Amino acid sequence: MQQVSERGAGGRRIPMLDVDEARARALDAGVPEGMADLNVFRILLHDPPTAAALNGLLHRLLWKGSLDQRLRELVILRIGWVSGAVYEWTQHWHVAVALGIDEADLVAVRDWEAYEGFGPVERAILAATDETLERGAIGDATWVACAEHLDEALLVELVAAIGNWGMFARMLASLDVPLDDGMEPWPPDGCGPEKGERT
């Protein structure tokens, strides 16, 4: 089993599998090849059952979810920013841009309360994101605000999305996942959060 170390003799906390090994493990575990090429899965596939379970949740929330894609990406980028998760921010910046989401809105999640371009639904879901990150749960007033725009199924999906990408932000940091080749940190301007920046 060949592994690639990205930090010389010391290596990463968990060395990345080479692409061929990651793809072979992904095939056995039912993880798509395209996911196996990402650095995060080249590390997660050291434990194929866990990688497969995480991929299943990502697949549901990213490709089969009912929550508006723009709202989902605003949530993810807010989590990436608040958590200092450069990998999460960088990957989802490109996902969001590919979906056609206005870049001004994406940048605005850095300081969403001061941004006049967000309406009540964006403010509600971003407040829900912040409260979950800060307190571990959405407060009653914010829940009511979210429920004005989202039905019960979407509220469950919102909570799952916040939980999922909050978990990924912490996993990416603990597993020391490097940016994929060719990715520049903190697009569009290379500026990360003042606290907890990881480049």
Nearest residue to 129 (alpha-carbon basis) of 96, 162, 153: 162
The predicted-structure confidence for 76-107, as pLDDT tens digits, reads as follows: 999 999 999 999 999 999 999 999 999 999 99
Radius of gyration of the chain (CA): 17
User: Is the pTM value of this prediction over 0.75?
Assistant: yes
pLDDT score, position 11? 59
Which pLDDT tens digit goes with each residue over 41-90?
Answer: 999 999 999 999 999 999 999 999 999 999 999 999 999 999 999 999 99
Pull the structure tokens for residue 193. 């959060």
Neighbours of 166 (CB within 10 A): 22
Q: How high is the pLDDT of residue 12?
A: 84
Q: What is the mean pLDDT of the chain?
A: 93
Q: What are phi and psi of 115, to 5 degrees?
A: -95, 125
Where on the phi/psi map is residue 26: left (φ > 0), alpha (ψ -120 to 50), or beta?
alpha
Domains of the chain, by residue range, sit at: 3-63, 69-174
Name which of 10, 37, 6, 11 is nearest 24 in CA terms.
37
Looking at the domain 69-174, which fold is it? AhpD-like (1.20.1290)
DSSP assignment of 85-116, as one string?
A: -HHHHHHHHHHHHHTT--HHHHHHGGGGGG-T
